[in-house]
Amino acid sequence: MIKLHSIDEFERVLEKENALLVLKHSITCPISLAAYDEYEAFTKEQQEVPTYYLTVQESRPLSNYIAETFQIKHESPQAILFSNKEPVWHASHRKITVTTLTESIN
């Protein structure tokens, strides 16, 4: 899991990777903490798709940029799978589990 901080950083990753997962995480929300734990467990089980995350409190411009650019209503926690620079799957809150993340990449 690599932490993203800026729009430029995200754009470089999006250009470089064919597919990637991004987790939008709130450091003040217990549901987000549970999703973060699931995401972290998922990353330990799989190595196929690069995984990134951002904290919405620290990277609000990036969080807003993703929501506006890809027209995905902002939620946190929120997991988004990108393929060929476009979102192809997303889930939020308690729908972010090791199982749903694994299914999203298959």
Strand order in the sheet with 86-92: 2-3, 51-55, 19-25, 78-83, 86-92
Q: Could you read off the pLDDT of 67-98 as tens digits, one per residue? A: 999 999 999 999 999 999 999 999 999 999 99
73 Cβ neighbours under 8 A, 6+ residues apart: 67
Predicted local distance difference test score (pLDDT) of residue 36: 96
Question: Domain ranges in the chain?
Answer: 2-105
The superfamily in CATH containing domain 2-105 is: Glutaredoxin (3.40.30.10)
Q: Is the pTM above the cut of 0.85? A: yes
pLDDT for 32-60, tens place per residue? 999 999 999 999 998 889 999 999 999 99
Report the distance separating Cα 100 and Cα 45, nearest Å. Answer: 13
User: pLDDT over 90 for what percent of the chain?
Assistant: 94
